[in-house]
Amino acid sequence: MRTAKITRKTAETEISVEVNLDGSGMYDMQTGIGFFDHMLDQLARHSLIDMTIRAKGDLHIDDHHTVEDTGIALGQALAQALGDKKGIRRYGACLLPMDDALVRCALDLSARPFLVWNVDLPTAKIGTFDTELVREFFQALSTHGGITLHVDALHGFNSHHIAEAVFKSVARALREAVETDPRKADAIPSTKGAL
Ligand SMILES: [Mn+2]
């Protein structure tokens, strides 16, 4: 079973993440941050990875620690569920439109964390959510999931649409990358023999 459960506790946050890579996109998110839950719902729904996330963070300060640490725990859960990565497609890409927004994601489950981020969110806030936290989340996911992650927002003027298109685009690319390739289901997809 390609599943994992991670719990992570610090002085700032307490987080639990459960994932099933071979799920159907079921989700149950409770982070205390409405907009972030809405984005995490998109990530699960469009990756077809089942995700249950509980986060209790120091929201009386701001949302930063909770968002970043959720990215860390989700990255760790994905890496653990992927195991030795035998049989996976490894690469995924998606060009995703949402109204005015057009976002391109390309990723490699390489175990070589690298984030290339060309996403301009034109407002500082979406509701009460700091838009700069979108990057913080994906930086943490990339680092702790071992993901080479390229995200480019090619068009868009509405911050909610751009952010949502980013999450959906990454989700779609993840769906492709974690899937088993039936032509090579028994092999690790690298000439090195390891990922
Ligand atoms: Mn929305």
Q: Which residue has the tokens 């569920």?
A: 81
Q: How far is the CA of 162 from the centre of ligand 1 (A)?
A: 10
CA of 160 to the centre of ligand 1 (A): 6
Query: Does some domain include residue 187?
Result: no
How many angstroms separate the CA atoms of 47 and 22, rounded?
Answer: 10
In a domain, 76, yes or no: yes
Q: 40 alpha carbon to ligand 1 midpoint, in Å? A: 11
Distance 14 CA to ligand 1 centre (A): 26
CB-based contact 147:195 (threshold 8 Å): no
pLDDT score at 143: 98
Cα of 101 vs centre of ligand 1, distance in Å, is: 12
- CATH number (domain holding residue 140): 3.30.230.40
Alpha helix positions (H), the chain? 34-47, 64-82, 132-145, 159-178
Residue 18 backbone phi and psi in degrees, to 5: -120, 135
Centre of ligand 1 to C-alpha 45, Å, is 13
And the tokens for 143?
Answer: 């680092």
Q: Specify if 183 maps to a domain.
A: no
The residues placing their C-beta within 5 Å of ligand 1, an ion, are 164
If one counts the domains in the chain, the total is: 1
Q: Check if the beta carbon of residue 108 is closer than 8 Å to that of residue 28.
A: no
Domain membership of residue 188 (yes or no) is no
Q: How far is the CA of 161 from the centre of ligand 1 (A)?
A: 7
The residues with which 56 forms a beta bridge, in sequence order, are 14
| pLDDT attached to residue 23 | 98
Domain annotation covers residue 16: yes
- Paired sense of beta strands 101-108 and 148-155, if any: antiparallel
Residue 140 in tokens: 């943490």
Is 31 within the bounds of a domain? yes
pLDDT at 94: 98
In a domain, 189, yes or no: no
Going from the Cα of 38 to the center of ligand 1, the distance in angstroms, rounded, reads: 7
Task: Give the pLDDT confidence score for residue 79 in this predicted structure.
Answer: 98
Q: Which pLDDT belongs to residue 42?
A: 98
Tell me phi and psi for residue 172, to 5 degrees: -60, -40
The alpha carbon of 33 and the centre of ligand 1 are apart by a number of angstroms equal to: 14
pLDDT at 53: 98
pLDDT at 67: 98
- The domain of 129 spans 3-178
- 195 located within any domain: no
- Distance (angstroms) between ligand 1 centre and the Cα of 39 equals 8
pLDDT tens for each residue of the chain, 195 residues long: 899 999 999 999 999 999 999 999 999 999 999 999 999 999 999 999 999 999 999 999 999 999 999 999 999 999 999 999 999 999 999 999 999 999 999 999 999 999 999 999 999 999 999 999 999 999 999 999 999 999 999 999 999 999 999 999 999 999 999 999 999 989 999 999 999
Cβ neighbour number for residue 22 with a 10 Å cutoff: 14
